[in-house]
Amino acid sequence: MVFQMQSLTRRQLNAAALILLWAHAVAATNAAQAKPNLLLIMADDVGCDAIGCYGGQSHPTPHIDALAQGGMKFNHAYSMPVCHPSRVCLMTGRYPFRFGAEGMKWGDFPDAAEGISIGDRFKQAGYATAVAGKWQLCMMKNDLQHPRRVGFDSWCLFGWHEGGRYHDPLIYQDGRLRDDTLGKYGPDLYVEFLVDFIRQSRQDGKPFFAYYPMALCHDVTDDLKGRHVAYSKDGRWMTYAEMISSMDDMIGRLVAALERLKIREETLILFTTDNGTPAASYLTVDADGKMVRPKVFSIRDGDVVPGGKGKHDDTGTRVPLIANWPGRIQPGSHADEMVDLTDYLPTLADIAGLGDEDVFRDGISFAPLLLGQPRELKRDWIYTEHRGKRAIRSPQFRLYDDGRFFDLAVDSKEQSPLSNEQLSGDAAEEFKQLSKRLGQMRPAAK
């Protein structure tokens, strides 16, 4: 009888332990569900003209178009003219000039931004965090732990200006150089890494923040000390059209993975790009071994659109932005309010319910737009900067720091600047307000 009582006690204890484990798992799952998963995708060198749902006719983009059909398409999303300042904006929610010379130092990340980046924000809130693709915020071989210092638990990033990003890529993963990339295609590896990360986060019962700054559709680099990066499988590099197709395929694979893992309805996807389509793209090498870079054009709504990367006009800075979250964002909806890359960090923080923070951001959350709620604050201007040149625009006008002023409603291609001496009415008032704002967008005097 004593033995039976002891045996029963052990069974009861085991049962109690199982109940506690089950309760812990349920609690972890509920906590994860309370904070949505976040997948932020930023393609490289892709303007609106290259995307089907934005009127692009040169390149089929069925997976991106499906995100727009099932979510919200923004008609006035903006970036910086080129990739590095765009990444500073997205990572910090601040304009590069806020960090002084460090903010515009190519291939570097301001020391003052460590601890306040988008990765830090979500890691501190209990998210599992990862980044894969293009970093461009340090020379990775000299700073193997840099992504960790700005909030990412794990990373899979090609060595910017160190080697290839596509075929036989040079990739650093979690602080070490991968030795298994020969004969492989970089974008495949970045997506596989993110899918593994998402699967592990789900198993751990943690919400995830996955940042995917794509290698696609930037061309190969020509500055690797006289040597060329690996060719494509058939002896040439991909055309811009082929890169667009591959970009769309990678996005489709990520969405399919979320569906397989049954977390699609728990995940907000934002898709955007870092600047407009490039004016030219390296495609091959001539008989003398020199890289050849023909011009890039797209057809959009029947018009031929040359690539505008590097320009402050709409061909260089007006970019796609699509938000998709089944059951939360109205399918097929549109947003005409202006947003820029500094807005993404505060928006995602709002969506995740992270609350207020004691950190200055230039960005303004557009989370209410996504959820169909009234928005108290909204943008009435967009600021851009690149290599010492600056511009600012309102919904109708754009002002450059050299004084050129355009009415975009009648001159969208900016062919005929208005004469400042002859301005009147709305144009005169806009010029005054934009001039004042542009004057304020400078580093504080020391």
For residue range 330-375, list pLDDT tens digits in order. 999 999 999 999 999 999 999 999 988 999 999 999 999 999 998 8
Whether the CB-CB separation of 246 and 16 falls below 8 Å is answered with no
Contacts of 108 (CB under 8 A, 6+ apart): 102, 137, 138
The tens digit of pLDDT for each residue in 393-433 reads: 999 999 999 999 999 999 999 999 999 888 999 999 999 99
**Burial environment of residue 301 by CB neighbours within 10 A (0 to 12, 13 to 18, 19 or more):** exposed
Whether the CB-CB separation of 343 and 313 falls below 8 Å is answered with no
The tens digit of pLDDT for each residue in 9-50 reads: 555 545 444 444 444 444 444 444 579 999 999 999 999 999
CA distances to 119, 266, 312 from 126, rounded to whole Å, are: 11, 16, 38
Chain centroid offset of residue 150 CA: 16
Q: Rounded distance, CA 370 to CA 77, Å?
A: 14
- Residue 127 has a pLDDT of 98
What secondary structure, in 3-state letters, does 135-149 show? CCCCCHHHCCCHHHH
Check pLDDT > 60 for residue 313: yes
- Residue 83 has a pLDDT of 93
Task: List % helix, strand, coil for the chain (3-state, nearest 5).
Answer: 35, 20, 45
Q: What long-range pairs does 290-299 form, CB within 8 A, spacing at least 24? A: 291/220, 291/222, 291/228, 293/219, 296/240, 297/58, 298/47, 298/49, 298/50, 298/56, 298/57, 298/58, 298/59, 299/49, 299/56, 299/57, 299/58
What are the b/e assignments for 402-425, b being 16+ CB within 10 Å?
eeebbbbeeeeebeebbeeeebee
Structure tokens at 52: 């089907």
Stronger pLDDT, 287 or 136, i.e. the higher one = 136
Domains of the chain are: 36-383 (3.40.720.10), 388-440 (no CATH)
The tens digit of pLDDT for each residue in 149-206 reads: 999 999 999 998 899 999 999 999 999 999 999 999 999 999 999 999 999 999 999 9
Q: Which amino acid is at 41?
A: I
DSSP string, 162-219: TS-SSBS--EEETTEE-S--TT-BHHHHHHHHHHHHHHHHHHHT--EEEEEE--TT--
DSSP string, 74-141: ESSEE--SSHHHHHHHHHHSS-GGGGGGGGG-TT---GGGTTSSHHHHHHHTT-EEEEEEE--SS-GG
Stronger pLDDT, 282 or 39, i.e. the higher one = 39
Which is nearest to 244 in space by CA: 196, 304, 299? 299
Q: Rounded distance, CA 317 to CA 303, Å?
A: 18
Please report which confidence band the pLDDT of residue 7 belongs to, taking 50, 70 and 90 as the band edges. Answer: very low
Beta bridge mates, 268 = 38
CA distances to 334, 413, 433 from 273, rounded to whole Å, are: 18, 21, 29
Please confirm whether the linkage preceding 53 is cis (ω < 30° from 0).
Answer: no
> For the CA atoms of the chain, what is the radius of gyration?
24
Check pLDDT > 80 for residue 3: no
Q: Rounded distance, CA 371 to CA 275, Å?
A: 26
Local structure of 399: helix, strand or coil: strand
- Residue 105 has a pLDDT of 79
- Residue 158 has a pLDDT of 95
What secondary structure, in 3-state letters, does 258-286 show? HHHCCCHHHEEEEEEECCCCCCECCCEEC
> Which region among 106-110, 277-281, 334-338, 395-399 has the lowest average model confidence (pLDDT)?
106-110
Contacts of 409 (CB under 8 A, 6+ apart): 396
Please report which confidence band the pLDDT of residue 2 belongs to, taking 50, 70 and 90 as the band edges. Answer: very low
For the chain, the average pLDDT equals 90
The tens digit of pLDDT for each residue in 379-398 reads: 999 999 998 899 999 999 99
Q: Which amino acid is at 58?
A: S
Local structure of 394: helix, strand or coil: coil
Structure tokens at 140: 């990775």
- Residue 264 has a pLDDT of 97
- Residue 226 has a pLDDT of 63
> Which region among 160-169, 223-232, 289-298 has the lowest average model confidence (pLDDT)?
223-232
Q: Rounded distance, CA 197 to CA 177, Å?
A: 18
Q: Rounded distance, CA 313 to CA 153, Å?
A: 37
